[in-house]
Amino acid sequence: MPVVNKNLTGSVMHGLLQTLAGSAVIGLLMLGNETLLSLPIIASLAATMFILVTSPHSPASRPRNLVGGYLCGMIGAVIARLPEAFATGLPEPLNPVSTLVLTTTLAVAITALLMVIFDLNHPPACALAFFLVTAQSPPVEYLLTFVFILLMSAALQILRPFMKDLFVEKPVTNQPDSTP
């Protein structure tokens, strides 16, 4: 089994330019980190950037999946946090860790369910839901995250004709993998 991606041969320049461009975008997000987005949210956006840069023509990179998936993540986070909003004034739960486990699990489950219902494919959206709940992000962070997603999607639409997929998916078979 080769160590180096054989599909990259002859495309090293594409790989270099595409990954540098994606890294630059994440770097710009990090520059405004203290005033714009929390680190966990940027981690979710970095996972998205990896998909956009390495597989710009894949289903997960399509604007509908990208924007729709992140909307599902935000909706999942909001729904998962609703019990907290109604619980103000009530006694604290006996175990705050179990509350966190419940809300994060609920946020990810709702996000995944919404993506399945609406046929959206963008896995980092589940990470966003998780991080929005754990960070107890304010509404402005939801809005800024959505603006960044729109900007990333628009940039990809402009650059997509010049980009190529850096990974080539192997066909899925029901045969067991023969590699040792």
DSSP 60: G
Q: Which of 18-22, 60-64, 74-78, 125-129 has the lowest mean pLDDT?
A: 18-22
pLDDT at site 144: 84
The overall pTM is greater than 0.85: no
Q: Given pLDDT bands bounded at 50, 70 and 90, which one contains residue 117?
A: very high
Q: Given pLDDT bands bounded at 50, 70 and 90, which one contains residue 159?
A: confident
pLDDT at site 126: 93
pLDDT at site 171: 53
pLDDT at 69 over 90: yes
Of residues 96 and 47, the one with the higher pLDDT is 47
Burial of 146 (0-12, 13-18, 19+ CB in 10 A): middle
CA 107 to the chain's CA centroid: 14
pLDDT at site 10: 54
pLDDT at site 17: 83
Number of domains, the chain: 1
- Residue 1 falls within a domain, yes or no? no
Q: Could you tell me if 70 and 128 are in contact, meaning their C-beta atoms sit under 8 angstroms apart?
A: yes
User: Which residue range forms the structural domain that includes residue 73?
Assistant: 12-162
Q: Could you tell me if 20 and 166 are in contact, meaning their C-beta atoms sit under 8 angstroms apart?
A: no
3-state secondary structure of 166: coil
- Residue 21 falls within a domain, yes or no? yes
- Residue 171 falls within a domain, yes or no? no
Segment 147-175 mean pLDDT: 78
How many angstroms separate the CA atoms of 36 and 42, rounded?
10
Of residues 167 and 138, the one with the higher pLDDT is 138
- Residue 2 falls within a domain, yes or no? no
The pLDDT tens digits of the residues spanning 72-87 come to: 999 999 999 887 766 5
pLDDT at site 36: 66
pLDDT at 169 over 90: no
How many angstroms separate the CA atoms of 45 and 36, rounded?
13
- Residue 22 falls within a domain, yes or no? yes
pLDDT at site 162: 83
How many angstroms separate the CA atoms of 46 and 164, rounded?
19
- Residue 34 falls within a domain, yes or no? yes
